């Protein structure tokens, strides 16, 4: 009898887990996705399935332009961050252990801070009276404050690069940390000089971490709307802002949901690709 | 004509080599010669400095003093990647992102060897270690023994005259370790490459080595062939490191002859072959368990002992005995005899041993 009850327990706990998962994640997500297949008449939603939203997005030039402009911007941020992040992670990795831990914590602390505060901080740095201009003026590189750092797509690129840098550095640093010291010594022992050790051993062993970091950066940058909203100006009107405007301004939830679905498909494709690149054959 | 062709000179000559970590000494200045083509084992317990010594020779550790001369050239200042020999690491240190072939060929690729020659030499090396079939596998797809073979092939590919091996068998299970011991020895014998092998396992050292260098607390305790170390240990430390040993002390030299010494001990007067070692802390007499004979046979040295326990372990019988007058305990290993009755516990036996089967050693301070 006890054995029978014990046997029943597992499905019961399973049901609970699926219940929580379904109630708090799957059902809200599904209901949100479902909106993408409805449409609005006079600002009220008509609950009848249609593909009209998707057709509109694919045929409307301004949506398409924004979509590709944003993906391109996210890709640029990812590539810039791959170089910046790799250099930073490599620099940290070469420090003595106590220094390393300090630097990693220093790098992770901003992740705990409010996202909006960080963007405002960047606005302060990039503005006409900001840190960047003060430095350029002090160095005599410019004679008058430059206003081109703010309220355009470049400002979005810079801001996202800075804000998302920890997401790039940490996975690269972790994969560098995982390289056994003896493997580096073996390369040296077999006659490799420093550059060969780097290109043939360190880089291939840590690049999967870079792919994971690039995935994080791309997905977060392509969907972001706060940074473009606060530092992007008119030029920095991105896909994230487009989605936001459908919900907050145009009250066209179905179109907003359809736009989100498209972005989600791209994000999932990128995550799938990063899973392959970030987990090469030799690791499996 | 280079110095190398001089057979008198050792391949590797170490003089006054010392290593210091801060204020503590890892290796006290020591001398060591490694002859061309030999299998020399550095043996010692953990903390004896054996790995530090190997890493210093490899170049990963900078010595605080002394010289390392390889083939007539002082290499202390030479960077690791320019030293003309290779290392097999304890954890193999294979490149995880490279196949077996790529791992083995690494040393040639960084030297810019052409593809054709690279392929041929990798094939040869894989043939030597018996991994021809597994060339396209990644290290994570190999067993411990196969990884070991890959590491050996990788170290051999540049045809070094010396290979350093840092406890390469420590991670393998007992059966595989024995198999790899034979394998390493046969590869060494056929390739004529000098092996400098580090281990803490005395049975491994005895079965594989041409010579063994016993390290203790950063000092060379004794260097010699396995037979010398087993039968003529210079100290209690060496004697007890190589299996069981019966120790009688203190010993006092009564008379010395050209090739024999008579010593007096609390257990009687014994004749020992050879002359006593120079000693500052007194002498002990050591006798291997299998050197004793029980019974009426005439032996030069005879002790009367009481039987404490008898253990039958198959081909051998182990008899534990003690001396009634003193606290000395003995362990004797004899071939099991199906016809004879085993000794009875509590009875007194006469056991004998010959002068050549015992040795005078330094009494250690510990």
CATH number of A202's domain: 1.10.3720.10
Report how far residue A161's alpha carbon sits from residue A182's, in angstroms, rounded to the nearest whole number. Answer: 34
**pTM (two decimals):** 0.85
CB atoms B94 and A281 under 8 Å = no
DSSP code, position A130? S
pLDDT in tens, chain B (366 residues): 344 445 568 999 999 999 999 889 999 999 999 999 999 999 999 989 999 999 999 999 999 999 999 999 999 999 999 999 999 999 999 999 999 999 999 999 999 999 999 999 999 999 999 999 999 999 999 999 999 999 999 999 999 999 999 999 988 888 899 999 999 999 999 999 999 999 999 989 999 999 999 999 999 999 999 999 988 888 888 988 888 888 888 888 888 888 889 998 988 889 998 888 776 678 889 998 888 888 766 778 888 899 999 998 888 899 999 998 887 899 999 888 888 888 888 888 888 898 888 888 887 655
Write out the two tokens for B266: 């609390």
Answer whether residue A155 is part of any domain: yes
Domain assignment present for residue A225? The answer is yes
Q: What's the rounded Cα separation, in Å, for the pair B218 and B66? A: 14
Do the domain assignments include residue A219?
yes
Chain B positions in Cβ-Cβ contact with residue A283 (cut-off 8 Å): 96, 140
> Which residues of B fall within a CB distance of 8 Å from A206?
none
The ipTM of this complex is: 0.85
Contacts of B79 (CB under 8 A, 6+ apart): B59
Strand order in the sheet with B86-88: B86-88, B162-166, B194-199, B39-43, B211-216, B219-224
With CB atoms and an 8 Å threshold, state whether B106 touches A185: no
Q: Is residue A88 part of a domain?
A: yes
Give kind and range of the element (H or E) at residue A53: helix A52-59
Phi, psi (rounded to 5 degrees) for A274:
-65, -30
Residues in chain B closer than 8 A to A200 (CB atoms): 106, 109-110
Q: What is the rounded CA–CA span in Å between residue A172 and residue A107?
A: 13
CB B330 within 8 A of CB B320: yes
**Structure confidence by residue, pLDDT tens digits, A28-70:** 999 989 999 999 998 888 999 999 999 999 999 999 999 999 9
Nearest to B86 among A182, A183, A190 (CB): A190
Number of domains into which chain A is organized: 1
The size of the A-B interface in CB pairs under 8 A is 72
Decide if A114 is inside a domain: yes
Chain A positions in Cβ-Cβ contact with residue B96 (cut-off 8 Å): 183, 205, 282-283
Lookup: tokens for A204: 């291939």
Beta bridge partners of B366: none
Does some domain include residue A255? yes
For residue B155, list chain A residues with Cβ-Cβ distance below 8 A. 190
Q: What distance in Å separates the CA atoms of residue B69 and residue B34, rounded to the nearest whole number?
A: 10
Domains in chain B with CATH codes: 3-231 (3.40.50.300), 243-362 (2.40.50.140)
Smallest Cα–Cα separation from B139: which of B151, B152, B129? B151
Q: Pick from A180, A200, A282: which is nearest to B140 by CB?
A: A282
Specify the 3-state DSSP secondary structure of A219: helix
Distant-in-sequence, close-in-space partners of A244: CB < 8 Å, separation ≥ 6: A225, A229
Please indicate, yes or no, if residue A52 is contained in any of the structural domains.
no
Angle between helices B115-129 and B144-156 (to 10 degrees): 130
Considering only CB atoms, B97 lies closest to which of A190, A191, A205, namely A205
Structure tokens at A142: 């410019």
Structure tokens at B349: 């036996």
Q: Which domain holds residue A77?
A: 66-283
Partner-chain contact A180 B82, CB within 8 Å? no
Q: Under an 8 A CB cutoff, do B80 and A188 touch?
A: yes
Neighbouring CB atoms inside 10 A of A16's CB total 10
Whether A227 is covered by a domain: the verdict is yes
How many CB atoms are located within 10 Å of the residue B346 CB? 8
């Amino acid at each position: 009898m006890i054995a029978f009850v014990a046997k029943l327990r597992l499905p019961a706990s399973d049901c609970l887990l699926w219940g929580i998962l379904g109630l708090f994640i799957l059902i809200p997500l599904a209901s949100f996705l479902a909106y993408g297949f409805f449409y609005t008449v006079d600002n009220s939603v008509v609950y009848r399935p249609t593909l009209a939203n998707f057709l509109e997005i694919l045929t409307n030039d301004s949506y398409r332009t924004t979509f590709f402009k944003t993906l391109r911007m996210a890709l640029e941020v990812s590539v810039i961050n791959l170089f910046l992040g790799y250099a930073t992670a490599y620099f940290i990795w070469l420090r003595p252990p106590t220094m390393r831990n300090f630097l990693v914590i220093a790098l992770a602390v901003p992740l705990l801070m409010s996202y909006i505060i960080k963007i405002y901080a960047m606005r302060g740095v990039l503005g006409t009276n900001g840190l960047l201009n003060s430095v350029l003026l002090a160095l005599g590189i410019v004679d008058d404050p430059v206003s081109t750092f703010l309220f355009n797509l470049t400002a979005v690129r810079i801001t996202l690069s800075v804000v998302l840098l920890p997401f790039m550095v940490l996975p690269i640093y972790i994969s560098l940390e995982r390289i056994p010291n003896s493997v580096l010594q073996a390369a040296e022992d077999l006659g490799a000089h420093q550059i060969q050790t780097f290109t043939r051993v360190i880089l291939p062993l840590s690049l999967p971490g870079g792919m994971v970091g690039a995935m994080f950066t791309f997905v977060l940058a392509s969907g972001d709307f706060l940074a473009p909203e606060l530092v992007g100006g008119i030029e920095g009107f991105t896909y994230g802002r487009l989605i936001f405007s459908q919900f907050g301004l145009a009250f066209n939830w179905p179109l907003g949901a359809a736009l989100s679905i498209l972005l989600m498909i791209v994000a999932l494709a990128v995550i799938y690709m990063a899973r392959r690149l970030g987990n090469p054959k030799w690791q499996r | 004509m280079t110095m190398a062709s001089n057979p008198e000179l050792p391949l590797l000559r170490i003089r006054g080599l010392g290593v210091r970590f801060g204020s503590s000494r890892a290796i006290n200045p020591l001398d060591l010669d490694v002859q061309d083509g030999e299998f020399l084992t550095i043996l010692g317990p953990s903390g004896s400095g054996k790995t530090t010594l190997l890493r210093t020779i490899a170049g990963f550790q900078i010595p605080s003093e002394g010289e390392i001369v390889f083939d007539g050239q002082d290499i202390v200042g030479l960077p690791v990647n320019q030293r003309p020999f290779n290392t097999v690491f304890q954890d193999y240190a294979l490149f995880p992102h490279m196949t077996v072939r790529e791992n083995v060929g690494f040393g040639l690729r960084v030297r810019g060897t052409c593809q054709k020659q690279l392929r041929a030499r990798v094939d040869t090396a894989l043939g030597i270690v018996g991994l021809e079939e597994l060339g396209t596998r990644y290290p994570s797809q190999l067993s411990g023994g196969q990884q070991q073979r890959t590491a050996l092939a990788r170290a051999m590919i540049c045809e070094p005259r010396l290979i350093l091996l840092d406890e390469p068998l420590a991670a393998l299970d007992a059966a595989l370790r024995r198999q790899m011991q034979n394998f390493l020895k046969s590869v060494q014998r056929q390739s004529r490459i000098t092996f400098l092998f580090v281990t803490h396992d005395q049975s491994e050292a005895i079965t594989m080595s041409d010579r063994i260098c016993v390290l203790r607390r950063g000092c060379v305790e004794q260097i010699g062939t396995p037979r010398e170390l087993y039968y003529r240990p210079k100290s209690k430390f060496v004697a007890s490191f190589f299996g069981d040993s019966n120790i009688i002390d203190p010993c006092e030299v009564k008379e010395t002859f050209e090739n024999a010494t008579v010593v007096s001990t609390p257990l009687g007067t014994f004749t020992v072959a050879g002359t006593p070692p120079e000693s500052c802390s007194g002498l002990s007499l050591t006798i291997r368990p299998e050197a004793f004979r029980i019974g009426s046979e005439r032996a030069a040295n005879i002790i009367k002992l009481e039987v404490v326990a008898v253990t039958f372990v198959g081909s051998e019988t182990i008899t534990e005995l003690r001396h009634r007058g003193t606290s000395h305990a003995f362990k004797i290993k004899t071939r099991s005899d199906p016809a004879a009755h085993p000794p009875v516990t509590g009875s007194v036996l006469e056991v004998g041993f010959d002068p050549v089967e015992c040795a005078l050693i330094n009494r250690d301070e510990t």
